[in-house]
A = this chain, B = another copy of it.
């Protein structure tokens, strides 16, 4: 059932407030209007697009990151829950690939995964003690790599946490890694 514009825009605002990560597509389904209508509504209400909303949310969370300067994180953090999990995206550009075959070089993938593992540790000193990376499929020039980090083990007595990081390109699993992180404070 269609609503009038004012009702619909109020509803749209409420939905986005509860779930800032909702896509225009899902909004269009929920409100039974076209994606174009959703875009126009957002424009009129000055609600930025999903990507920008994600950034805004992540920026607030990023202010609490202690273990490194935010601009030292390789890739763009789109979500971070300190001491728990984090997500970043990394766009593979010309400078990240082997000139001979256009395949992304391992150390850039390592850098995305490792810096996310550092960022998720809620401590002012977090050092990588061990790393294990399995490269399942090559990433290529133009790929957008989504890395998802999650703390899977916590040993407060030795001040070590194990962070699992998985990399995906369009839902294809391209790398899996574990990082054993040492941190300063016993928590």
Contacts and interface: CB of A to CB of B under 8 A. Distances in A.
Interface of A: 68-69, 72, 74, 98-101, 103, 105-108, 110-111, 114-115, 124-125, 127-135, 138
B69 A100 contact: yes
Given A69-B100, A106-B110, A107-B110, A129 B124 contact: no
Given A68-B98, A72-B98, A129 B125 contact: no
B99 A106 contact: no
Sorted nearest first, the 10 A-B pairs with minimum C-beta distance are: A107-B111, A106-B128, A110-B110, A131-B133, A106-B114, A107-B110, A130-B134, A107-B107, A132-B132, A69-B99
Given A68-B100, A99-B72, A132 B131 contact: yes
B125 A130 contact: no
Contact of A135 (B99, B110, B128, B134): B128
A103 B68 CA distance: 11
Nearest to A126: B98
A140 to B, nearest CB: 12
